[in-house]
Amino acid sequence: MALWLRLLLYASLALNLVVAGVVAGALLRGGPPPRDARDVIAPYIRALDADQSRALRRAFRSAARDGARPGAFLAGYRDVLALLRAEPFDPEAVATALERQGDAAASRQALGRRVLVQHLSGLDPAARAAFADRLEAELENIGKRRSPPRD
């Protein structure tokens, strides 16, 4: 495999891990993702009210516990650390470890989407409309932050 293609693969996997980390961190730590997060789910998370956010975090944690072994997220990083320090360096082993992390991140993202849809499905029409209003306001704020200032 060409070096530039490997580097592109590593960069893509790293970006996927960052996005998954932001989403998982937001759900697990109890706050919204950083304002500069560039992932698709961030506006949805920020549009939740406090009660919805707590309920969604609980549902995500419960579902994540059912499908993963404890510490698996950090174990992937520890595996890469060991591979980075190993001599001789094995780029294929690092690529494989990064792919495993990318797959795990994609699974967590999918779980987050399923939990969000399940939560939204349980809302009554008024609560869903209120969520839609908050989401719309969040999207307007994003648009304002990304628009160049006008004189």
Q: What is the pLDDT of residue 131?
A: 93
> Out of 8-17, 34-43, 56-65, 114-123, which region has the weakest mean confidence (pLDDT)?
34-43
Percent of the chain past pLDDT 70, that is, above it, reads 68
What is the pTM (predicted TM-score) of this model? 0.59
Give tens-digit pLDDT for 63-115. 877 656 656 778 889 999 999 999 999 999 999 999 998 888 888 888 888 99
In whole angstroms, what is the distance from residue 129 CA to residue 76 CA?
Answer: 40
In whole angstroms, what is the distance from residue 22 CA to residue 111 CA?
Answer: 14
In whole angstroms, what is the distance from residue 113 CA to residue 119 CA?
Answer: 10
In whole angstroms, what is the distance from residue 6 CA to residue 95 CA?
Answer: 8
Q: What is the pLDDT of residue 86?
A: 94
- In 3D space, the residue among 136, 133, 11, 37 whose CA is nearest the CA of residue 27 turns out to be 37
Distances in Å between the Cα of 151 and the Cα atoms of 32, 44, 148 are 32, 31, 10
Say if CB 91 and CB 6 are below 8 A apart.
Answer: yes
Say if CB 135 and CB 44 are below 8 A apart.
Answer: yes
In whole angstroms, what is the distance from residue 146 CA to residue 83 CA?
Answer: 39
Q: What is the pLDDT of residue 37?
A: 44
> Out of 25-39, 77-91, 92-106, 119-133, which region has the weakest mean confidence (pLDDT)?
25-39
Query: Would you tell me how many other CB atoms lie within 10 Å of the CB of residue 125?
Result: 7
The H or E element that residue 104 is part of is helix 91-121
Q: Which residues have a Cβ under 8 Å from the Cβ of 17 and sit 6 or more positions away?
A: 98, 101, 102, 105
